[in-house]
């Protein structure tokens, strides 16, 4: 570790103020714990409350950092090989909103994978850009979406040479990584930016067994969920930025626009500490996580009725490499759905997975896990596979996707347009004011601003009929749908 990485400027500054002996006649109202309720004291240590301050000269301004926040952000940028890092206290959602709003303007075209997280839809509402959706590859055996292929991106660029940027989700929730280096070369050759939702990749730089991190692949910006896979507190993320094609001052201004003027220093400090922890021992911790995960994977694949794909399954369209610390365990051969398996594992074996879909349960092995957790998980899965096999297997739905409907309004126009609720079939020919997504594969069938067609309605009805979980609409029973009121001005979005 480089010597200068051994520091933690934010906790140092907070400790310096708390230890200065100044009597608090300032915010926050609990006054460094003096007036804190016992329930709050129980949850946050006395030292934590003493340091829960924000506007003192020892500290800094998140909107225009020049002291401890700047130092901490610079250390993070250095560790991740980026020109700049911005600390975020509104999760990766905040990082993604900042990313899109700082480089896109109303009316700009942006290429977006159809399986993008809803924070990207929120960013499009904020910046007013026109999305051109690209369908990612669907792996029918796994029932999940993979990444984007260079062919699909090439075709989108040919149809929309005016696009300003490509948004990529890298890796996916399930750890699947597309060929990001090739995508970077492709979009840069067309003068576009590569903006990466790397929510599931803050740990990638710390093991060579993992896919290369987005910045190393050539991304211009990458939004990292430090809280999801490393040791910072929930709600904290980082936005990494390269200067070659992005105006850092614009990013700073946008980050300041979207963040609170009273950021919580415990949250900020947790980002600094997570960076310190990775600088100190990231490579040892991630090497262990990879080893544990690969051991569990091997054991699971020897269990009758379970399957956990690994690196050998990569090399398919949209799937160049795998974050092996994600264990997607397919349970359908037991005749169970992922949701049923999740319930059994939670209540019979006291294990909580990260998520379940129709076919799979996903387990995350992180830098926190040891042999103990690995062997408990392995043992529980072994018992589960032995004891829970349905004699007559369920007929599981086949995952399919209709073509993306025509975009009649940008997400921003649809967001601000007056809307009304109509019966589901009366929605045909109208413009959707809400999103409809089925799990699996978690790709919106309909997005705000798109024309509802008879085909889309038919597809939605058949997905609902086979029992897939619907998310997004106000009425999840799909009796009604929110549409844009008639008479609104539509500008063709693509
Ligand atoms: C791919 C992806 N992007 C962005 C986000 C948003 O992250 P956060 O919850 O930190 O706002 C998530 C959250 O699950 C995600 O899975």
pLDDT at residue 272, rounded to an integer: 98
Q: pLDDT of 110-121, one tens digit each? A: 999 988 998 999
Please count the other Cβ atoms lying within 10 Å of the Cβ belonging to residue 371. Answer: 11
The answer to whether the CB of 92 is under 6 A from ligand 1 is yes
Single pTM value for the model: 0.95
d(CA 220, CA 141): 33
Query: Which of 114, 115, 117 for a ligand 1 pocket mutation test, highest count of atoms within 8 Å of Cβ?
Result: 117
Beta bridge partners of 364: 326
Cα 422 off chain centre by: 32
d(CA 171, CA 233): 21
The answer to whether the CB of 117 is under 6 A from ligand 1 is yes
Quote the mean pLDDT of the chain. 94
The answer to whether 76 and 86 are in contact (CB under 8 A) is no
Cis omega (within 30 of 0) for bond into 95: no
Cis omega (within 30 of 0) for bond into 491: no
Q: Which of 210, 126, 230, 125 is nearest to 170 (CA)?
A: 210
pLDDT at residue 489, rounded to an integer: 63
d(CA 479, CA 422): 9
Q: Which structural domains are found in the chain, ordered by start? A: 3-279 (3.40.640.10), 282-387 (3.90.1150.10), 411-484 (3.90.100.10)
Q: H or E stretch including 490?
A: none
Query: Which of 92, 227, 237 for a ligand 1 pocket mutation test, highest count of atoms within 8 Å of Cβ?
Result: 92
Q: Which of 86, 131, 121, 411 is nearest to 258 (CA)?
A: 86
pLDDT category, 464, cuts 50, 70, 90?
confident
d(CA 472, CA 291): 38
Please count the helices (runs of H) and the strands (runs of E) in the chain.
16, 20
Six-digit token pair at 65? 């950092």
Six-digit token pair at 327? 């264990």
Q: In the block, which residue shows the tokens 């049923």?
A: 340
**C-alpha 89 – ligand 1 centre gap (Å):** 13
Strand pairing report for 436-439 and 469-471 = antiparallel
Contacts of 112 (CB under 8 A, 6+ apart): 120, 124, 131, 132, 133, 134, 167
Beta bridge partners of 469: 439
d(CA 439, CA 302): 28
What's the chain's length in residues?
494
Ligand 1 atom nearest residue 225's Cα: 10
Flag whether pLDDT at 288 surpasses 90: yes
Which residue's C-alpha comes closest to atom 7 of ligand 1? Answer: 92
Q: Which of 372, 396, 463 is nearest to 142 (CA)?
A: 396
The answer to whether 310 and 210 are in contact (CB under 8 A) is no
Flag whether pLDDT at 491 surpasses 60: no
d(CA 435, CA 118): 9
d(CA 338, CA 354): 11
Query: Which of 95, 97, 119 for a ligand 1 pocket mutation test, highest count of atoms within 8 Å of Cβ?
Result: 119
The answer to whether the CB of 264 is under 6 A from ligand 1 is no
d(CA 109, CA 190): 13
Q: Which of 485, 482, 463 is nearest to 474 (CA)?
A: 482
Could you give the strand order of the β-sheet that contains 360-364, starting from the edge strand earlier in sequence? 307-308, 326-330, 360-364, 355-356
292 phi/psi in degrees, rounded to 5: -60, -45
Flag whether pLDDT at 322 surpasses 60: yes
Q: pLDDT of 45-85, one tens digit each? A: 999 999 999 888 889 999 999 999 999 999 999 999 999 99
pLDDT category, 362, cuts 50, 70, 90?
very high
The answer to whether the CB of 226 is under 6 A from ligand 1 is no
307 phi/psi in degrees, rounded to 5: -145, 130
d(CA 364, CA 174): 9
Q: pLDDT of 402-447, one tens digit each? A: 777 899 999 999 999 999 999 999 999 999 999 998 876 677 889 9
Cis omega (within 30 of 0) for bond into 489: no
């Amino acid at each position: 570790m480089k010597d200068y990485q051994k520091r933690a400027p934010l906790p140092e500054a907070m400790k310096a103020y708390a230890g200065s002996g100044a009597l608090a006649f300032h915010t926050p109202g609990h006054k460094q714990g003096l007036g804190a309720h016992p329930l709050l004291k129980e949850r946050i240590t006395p030292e934590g409350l003493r340091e829960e301050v924000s506007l003192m000269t020892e500290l800094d301004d998140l909107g225009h950092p020049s002291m401890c926040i700047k130092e901490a952000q610079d250390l993070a940028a250095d560790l991740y090989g980026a020109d700049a890092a911005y600390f975020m206290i509104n999760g990766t959602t905040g990082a993604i909103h900042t990313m899109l709003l700082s480089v896109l303007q109303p009316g700009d075209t942006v290429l977006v994978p159809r399986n993008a997280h809803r924070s990207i839809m929120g960013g499009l509402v904020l910046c007013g850009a026109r999305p051109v959706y690209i369908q990612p590859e669907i792996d029918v055996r796994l029932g999940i979406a993979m990444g984007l292929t260079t062919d699909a991106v090439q075709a989108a660029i040919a149809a929309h040479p005016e696009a300003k940027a490509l948004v990529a989700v890298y890796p996916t929730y399930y750890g699947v990584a597309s060929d990001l280096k090739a995508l970077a070369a492709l979009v840069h050759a067309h003068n576009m930016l590569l903006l990466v939702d790397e929510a599931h990749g803050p740990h990638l730089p710390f093991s060579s067994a993992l896919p290369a991190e987005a910045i190393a692949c050539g991304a211009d910006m990458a939004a990292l969920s430090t809280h999801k896979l490393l040791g910072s507190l929930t709600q904290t993320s980082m936005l990494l930025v390269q200067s070659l094609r992005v105006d850092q001052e614009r990013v700073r201004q946008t980050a300041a626009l979207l963040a609170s003027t009273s950021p919580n220093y415990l949250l900020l400090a947790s980002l600094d500490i997570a960076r310190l922890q990775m600088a100190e021992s990231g490579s040892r911790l991630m090497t262990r996580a990879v080893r544990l995960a690969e051991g569990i994977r091997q054991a699971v694949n020897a269990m009758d009725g379970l399957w956990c794909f690994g690196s050998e399954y990569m090399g398919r369209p949209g799937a160049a490499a795998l974050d092996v610390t994600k264990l997607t365990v397919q349970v359908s051969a037991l005749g169970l759905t992922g949701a049923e398996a999740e319930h059994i594992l939670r209540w019979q074996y006291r294990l909580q997975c990260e998520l379940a879909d129709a076919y799979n349960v996903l387990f995350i092995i992180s830098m926190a896990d040891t042999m103990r957790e690995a062997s408990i998980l392995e043992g529980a899965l072994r018992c589960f596979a032995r004891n829970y096999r349905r004699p007559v297997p369920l007929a599981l739905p086949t995952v399919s996707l209709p073509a993306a409907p025509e975009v009649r309004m940008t997400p921003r126009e649809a967001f601000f347009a007056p809307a009304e609720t109509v019966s589901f079939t009366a929605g045909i020919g109208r413009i959707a004011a809400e999103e409809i997504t089925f799990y699996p594969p978690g790709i919106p069938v309909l997005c705000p601003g798109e024309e509802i067609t008879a085909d889309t309605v038919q597809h939605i009805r058949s997905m609902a009929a086979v029992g897939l979980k619907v998310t997004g609409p106000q009425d999840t029973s799909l009796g009604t749908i929110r549409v844009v009121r008639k008479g609104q001005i539509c500008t063709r979005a693509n």
